């Protein structure tokens, strides 16, 4: 505790972080309820109990607010992933954890997926979500490349192709969950999808069959 600071008193940084979190939560609620077009700095401030000036001070623009929302919703989506080094096991942990987490989508994550889907036709979103997807693919490419180097993934596997296929599969499953939650048993599906990728990529596996990685080598 800093000298002169009262016990239990929040620091300026803590107050700012709390305000930012409240604003992002309010923006996510608006997205889930009415779509991105319903999100304005004024409405976000009103929903969170702050003035528009506070929202502008924190984010500067709607574009920056949406970018912050996209980053916040993907951070920590799979607990413990950041503690693992790149490689096949990390990729499988990501697949298993991502699908499993879809079973308990909170407002922030629902907002991200809705915005991601809307980015296809919304120019103000497309750049943000191209960047987020490229960051996701970069992590996947790193895992595949590290797996090849350590001998866990078959030589000749194309990291770029695997990254595109894995991301497409995960996003596709997520959209199915949004459309019809009861149709997707995420708890059962996560391990199944991870095992398919293990068999498809493993240097000791039988090679790609009709599963998700067919034709990736």
In a domain, 5, yes or no: no
Judgement on whether residues 60 and 86 belong to the same structural domain of the protein: no
pLDDT band at 190 (very low <50, low <70, confident <90, very high): very high
Q: Looking at the 3D structure of the chain, how many domains does it have?
A: 2
| CATH for 31 | 1.10.10.60
Judgement on whether residues 88 and 168 belong to the same structural domain of the protein: yes
Is residue 38 within 8 Å of residue 3, measured between CB atoms?
A: no
Q: Looking at residue 7, what is its pLDDT?
A: 52
Query: What burial class does residue 141 get, using C-beta atoms within 10 Å of its C-beta: 0-12 exposed, 13-18 middle, 19+ buried?
Result: buried
Q: Looking at residue 82, what is its pLDDT?
A: 76
For the segment 110-164, what is each residue's pLDDT rounded down to a tens digit? 888 888 888 888 887 888 888 889 999 999 999 999 999 999 999 999 999 999 9
The interaxial angle of helices 62-74 and 52-59, nearest 10 deg, is 70
Q: Is the pTM of this model over 0.85?
A: no
DSSP state for residue 61 in the 8-state scheme: S
Judgement on whether residues 57 and 113 belong to the same structural domain of the protein: no
> What is the span of the domain harbouring residue 128?
78-201
Judgement on whether residues 85 and 174 belong to the same structural domain of the protein: yes
Q: Looking at residue 75, what is its pLDDT?
A: 58
The residue among 73, 103, 123 that closes a domain is 73
Q: Looking at residue 86, what is its pLDDT?
A: 94
Considering only 7-11, 169-173, 212-216, which range has the smallest mean pLDDT?
212-216
């Amino acid at each position: 505790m800093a000298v002169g600071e009262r016990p239990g008193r929040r620091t300026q940084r803590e107050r700012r972080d709390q305000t930012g979190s409240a604003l992002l939560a309010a923006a996510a609620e608006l997205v889930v309820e009415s779509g991105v077009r319903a999100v304005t700095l004024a409405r976000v401030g009103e929903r969170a109990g702050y003035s528009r000036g506070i929202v502008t001070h924190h984010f500067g623009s709607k574009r920056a607010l949406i970018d912050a929302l996209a980053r916040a919703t993907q951070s920590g989506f799979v607990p413990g992933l950041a503690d693992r080094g790149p490689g096949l096991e990390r990729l499988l942990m990501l697949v298993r954890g991502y699908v499993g987490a879809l079973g308990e989508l909170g407002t922030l994550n629902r907002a991200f997926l809705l915005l991601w889907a809307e980015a296809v036709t919304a120019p103000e979103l497309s750049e943000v979500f191209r960047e987020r997807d490229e960051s996701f693919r970069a992590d996947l490419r790193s895992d595949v490349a590290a797996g090849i180097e350590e001998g866990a993934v078959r030589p000749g596997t194309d990291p770029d192709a695997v990254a595109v296929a894995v991301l497409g599969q995960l996003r596709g499953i997520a959209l199915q969950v949004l459309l019809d939650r009861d149709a997707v048993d995420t708890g059962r599906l996560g391990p199944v999808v991870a095992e398919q990728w293990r068999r498809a990529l493993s240097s000791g596996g039988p090679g790609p069959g009709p599963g998700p990685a067919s034709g990736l080598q």
